[in-house]
Amino acid sequence: MPNVKLTLQYDGTDYNGWQIQPNGRTIQGELTRVLSILDQRHVTVYGAGRTDAGVHAEGQVANFTLQRDFDLRELRDGLNGNLDRDLRVLAAEIVPDSFHARASARLKEYRYRIWTADVVSPFVRRYVHHYRGQLELEQMRRAADHLIGEHDFRAFTVTASDVEGSVRTIERIEIVEEENSLAIYVAANGFLRYMVRAIAGTLIDVGRGRLSVAKVSQALSTLDRDQVGPTAPACGLTLLRVDY
């Protein structure tokens, strides 16, 4: 049975995240539903990252095996024809049997957008966190520098986690000033649950002057969640890409 890789985009606003749940619409659940109809059997879908409820994706990756013989373009169109319009398959391709969307990933990049203008445009409101106050960019960048490299990020996740180990390596954090907004780009070899949103909330608090750069550095050594900022809202977060 061929191993198929999908590249996906979705607006996560109306989804309960990636992972299948007993109650609630999820990305994995919708893909499983449609693929199982097309392949006439239950299909198990694996994703590169378990995006949380309300989180979006421009470059999510999934894989699964197929029993029936499909033309890849017809498979893509068949999926899109049966999925809601807030979830799209951009491409489908055959990959080696050893490929796994999550285990084979070597780098993931997220973007967190903060809308800083007084009024949020209705065209972006679902994809940004609105903060109207002044933010000190240089202080935010100084704090971000402390997070780059290999660290134990236990202070930047939830207490209860189903992932073994909390050490991750952040390759890059970049804070870019855009028209009416700031974008925080974070690229790492992997992420803990809520990790990017906790980093974003922490950097916002640094930019507001509520949290010092030294406190951010201290949190990495104390592993104390109370030392850092709140978890920023899900709407501002987008999974941009996954590298293999």
Cβ–Cβ under 8 Å, residues 192 and 163:
yes
Q: Which amino acid is at 46?
A: Y
The 3-class secondary structure across 10-71, one letter per residue, is: ECHHHCCCCCCCCCCCCHHHHHHHHHHHHHCCCCCCEECCCCCCCCEEEEEEEEEECCCCCC
d(CA 140, CA 133): 14
d(CA 90, CA 217): 40
Which residues on neighbouring strands pair with residue 243, listed in sequence order? Answer: 107
Q: How many residues does the chain have?
A: 244
- Considering 11, 14, 39, 52, which one is annotated as catalytic? 52
| DSSP string of 107-169, one letter each residue | EEEEEEEEE-SSS--TTTGGG-EE--S---HHHHHHHHHHHSEEEE-GGGS-SS-SSS--EEE
| DSSP string of 192-233, one letter each residue | -TTHHHHHHHHHHHHHHTSS-HHHHHHHHHH--GGGS-PPPP
Nearest to 189 by CA among 110, 98, 105: 105
Q: Which amino acid is at 197?
A: R
Q: Is 118 a catalytic residue?
A: no
Residues with a catalytic annotation lie at 52
